[in-house]
Structure 1
Amino acid sequence: MTGRVQPAEPIRLVVSDIDGTLVNHAKELTPRTRAAIAALAERGVGFTVTTARPPVGLRGVFALLGMKVTAAAINGGAVVDGDLNIVEEKLLAPAIARRAVALLREQGLDPWLFTDEHWYIRDPKGDNVPLETRTIGQEPVVVDDFAEALYGRVLKVIGSCNDHPHLAACEAMLQRALGADAIATRSQAYYLDVTNPRAHKGEAVASLAKAFGVPVSAVLTIGDGTNDIPMLEAAGFGVAMGNGSDEVKAAADAVTGDCEHDGFAEAIERYVLRA
């Protein structure tokens, strides 16, 4: 952590990760979280989200929040308006998407492809397919193999695996193999995301700050995953969830409680509402 105890200037926009941050492991918004978000609106402080989920995965979140706002999906690879229309996107280069798929298959994983409209898989019984279906509210398109035309529309390739140490090793291997042509990072212990090299949450914060008309220095970000590190470092004040790893906590200005004990609400109360 940086050792800072409060934001250097009043916070005008809060940008939150969703899974493991805004919602608990049951994908619920607690009453205290709802109250904190309502208090932000009363203070005139903007609120939005950025997530590894695809754009369609924001529909259920908007319904939970009772709001429609400009938000960022695919770790910043897609910025959408409140009706989920894409206003900015960063696709993977087709050759890099093919390479990522090949590398994941070499490691015994069955990759998923996400475009701006659908997600494509080969094995509907693969690790975490039911979980992803529930999380984003969309059924996958099951195919024998990925059609060549799909590679020109890829926002994200995912390798999903419940062998977490193996997936961590795959993360390091893919990043070495793909180099500067992509970002390979885990959004959860069981999800390895491969995206455009500029599709990260640091870029998302810049895009969202611009959309809300505030400087990045007046943005508070909060997250729990390694994919959240760029936004924790980019914002005026970054808060790591208590359920985040030591690496995530080291990148933040402060650490709050975990997602099962209202860590999000605690951070809003401490660093925005009482500041």
Structure 2
Amino acid sequence: MMVNESARQAALSPPASRIKLVVTDMDGTLLTPEKQVTRRSLAAIQTLKDAGVPVCLVSSRPPNGMEMYFEVLGLNTPYGALNGGTIFNADRTVRSELALDPGAVRDALDMLKVHDVDAWLFRGHEWLVENETGAYVEPEKRAIHMQPHVVSSFAGSLNGIGKITGSTADYELLERQEIEIGSLLEGRACVARSAQWFLDITPLEANKGHALQQLAAFYGISPAEVACIGDMNNDIPMLKLAGLSIAMGQANDHVRSHAHFTTDTNEHEGWAKAMESLVLPRVEQPNPAAATPPQGA
């Protein structure tokens, strides 16, 4: 860890002693590399629910790609899609949504095109692509159980865009584009990688910190009473706001420097271990004695 990152972590406020809500990233965090949820993680979610602590999902995924997990997770809570730019109620209706300025969309698309980075647009429940044969389109179809709408040009689809995703197997190029496009769109959009191969461009306030604040407000609690966990740069805004912040074991040093703790990787039950060792000890457990009247009462 670089000196400035060590100093950043040392300057963090102490972790919260009481947690009332868990907000979690999905890919690289709650999900295994095979996009599954382990039995141990499901057991931890159930324990949290039994203790009255809701678990909410926040992801760069479109809503369809999140909702497909609700049944197996047993969740009925609000959630943040498109990197937190669109907040959905538990019944899957839109609670709030943000959109990119059309000019910012145009500028981002121009930059991605110059560097031969495949671009996708997301709007509501729509996924728009120009290049259906792009390297990551087919895997994304399988990952989010969604079919893209193929357009000949994005020119007529610049309004109401909740997220642009740039995808390429050139990870170093995408890292550079995170900086360059971030500079180009400074003050107009939020730019961060959600995976080594995905660069997400969302409305300025559409980040996971915004989603954490919205979800905390829904439950009438402070962000200081929220535990959050993630693994990528786009998780940093919520790590910075949460009372208890946890980085996954495979997260880079920069992400880790914004977290109170680092757990194991998503290959080795990192999410479940974090809930068991860091979150649940900070949860107020139900008192069985309070629910059982004393003998002779």
Match of 1:23 among 16, 31, 34: 31
CA offsets per residue over residues 22-67 of structure 1, 9 Å max, x none?
0101011101100100000111111111000112221112122122
> Which letter does structure 1 place at the counterpart of 2:281?
R
Secondary structure of the corresponding residue to residue 180 of structure 1? coil
TM-score, scaled relative to structure 2: 0.89
| Alignment of 1:192 onto 2:199 | yes
**Partner residue in 1 for 2:84:** 76
- 1:270 and 2:277 correspond: yes
Matched with 1:48 is: 56
Structure 2 unaligned spans of 5+: 1-8, 283-297
Q: Mapping of 1:163-202 within 5 angstroms?
A: 163-202=170-209
Q: How many residues in Structure 1 have an aligned counterpart in Structure 2?
A: 274
Tell me how far apart the structure 2 counterparts of residues 109 and 195 of structure 1 sit (CA, whole Å): 17
Q: Partners of 1:182 and 1:112 in 2: how far apart?
A: 16
Q: CA deviation at 1:266?
A: 0.7
- Inter-partner Cα distance in structure 2 for 1:129 and 1:156: 16
Match of 2:108 in 1: 100
TM-score under structure 1 length normalisation: 0.96
Q: Contact 1:17–1:49 (CA<8 Å) still a contact in 2? A: yes
- 1:224 positional shift: 0.3
Aligned mate of 1:209, from 210, 216, 222:
216
Q: Extract structure 1 runs of 4+ deviating beyond 6 A.
A: 3-6
- 1:90-118 Cα distance to aligned partner (Å, 9 max, x none): 10011111111111101112211110021
Greater displacement, 218-227 / 54-63: 54-63
Structure 1 SS opposite 2:35: coil
Choose which of 16, 22, 27 in structure 2 pairs with 1:14: 22
Identity within the alignment, %: 36
Distance 1:3 1:270 in 2: 23
Does residue 70 of structure 2 align to residue 62 of structure 1? yes
Q: How far apart are 1:3 and its partner, in Å?
A: 8.0
Measure, in 2, the Cα distance between the counterparts of 1:5 and 1:203.
20
Structure 1, gaps ≥5 residues long: none
- Equivalent residue of 2:23, what SS? strand
- Quote the Cα distance in structure 1 between the aligned partners of 2:31 and 2:13: 25
Structure 1 distance, partners of 2:85, 2:274, is 26
Residue deviations 1:137-185 (CA, integer Å, cap 9, x gap): 111011111242x211100111100110011111111011111111111
Aligned Cα RMSD in Å? Answer: 1.5
Greater Rg by CA: 2
Deviation string 1:77-135 (CA, Å, 9 cap, x unpaired) is 00001232211111001111111111110111221111002111111111211121112
* Range 106-115 or range 60-69, more displaced: 60-69
